[in-house]
Amino acid sequence: MPDGAQHERDGAGPPELRDTQDTRDTQDTQETDAQRRRRRAQFLRELHEAKALRDRVQPRRVKAARMRQAMRMRTFRW
């Protein structure tokens, strides 16, 4: 087995290659707050859209859920 294949499998490789790989990994894992907020906003938009679609497709379930929520609100004690 060649030495290069052994290093690649062990993740040990030559030091100059390991340093660049470690740097690249830390850059990938350290996303900026703006990127995280953008991804989160996109996820929440898609979630809201999926819930709206489900509500349109299953109106009986939505009405029952509204009735249960109204009953909970009527029986809630301050």
Q: Measuring CA to CA, which residue among 48, 61, 49 is closest to residue 69?
A: 61
> Does 8 share its domain with 40?
no
Count of structural domains within the chain: 2
pLDDT at 30 over 90: no
pLDDT digit string, tens, across residues 14-27? 555 555 565 555 55
Give residue 76's domain range.
33-78
Residues 24 and 48 occupy one common structural domain: no
pLDDT of amino acid 75: 87
Are residues 53 and 19 part of one domain?
Answer: no
Question: Do 52 and 78 lie in a common domain?
Answer: yes
**64 pLDDT higher than 90:** yes
Q: How many CB atoms lie within 10 A of CB 41?
A: 10
74 shares its domain with 46: yes
Please tell me whether residues 45 and 58 are part of one structural domain: yes
